[in-house]
Amino acid sequence: ARRLCDCGIGIYLWHFQVFRLLILLFPDAWGTPQMCLVGLFEALSLTLIMAALSYYLIERPVIRWGARRLSVA
């Protein structure tokens, strides 16, 4: 649960873009409840991947940089 909380801002930032991209790429794939459920799982998976990548590649290095910078000052 803690790791999911670490990526919370990324989830918030990425979910809308992922849904928009999936709707734009696959506009006909949202016609039935079953297809919507598949789309939801795809969007959730992509959102979690993007959130984790942005946390580990952007957020965490910036946090470490800031902590080092504050400890030196």
pLDDT at 3: 64
Q: How confident is the model at residue 68 (pLDDT cuts 50, 70, 90)?
A: confident
With a cut of 60, say whether residue 73 has pLDDT above it: no
- Mean pLDDT, to the nearest integer, of 58-69? 87
Give percent above pLDDT 90 in the chain.
62
Which contacts (CB < 8 Å, 24+ apart) does range 9-16 have?
A: 9/51, 9/59, 10/50, 10/51, 10/52, 10/54, 10/55, 10/59, 11/47, 11/48, 11/51, 13/51, 13/54, 14/46, 14/47, 14/50, 14/51, 14/54, 15/43, 15/47
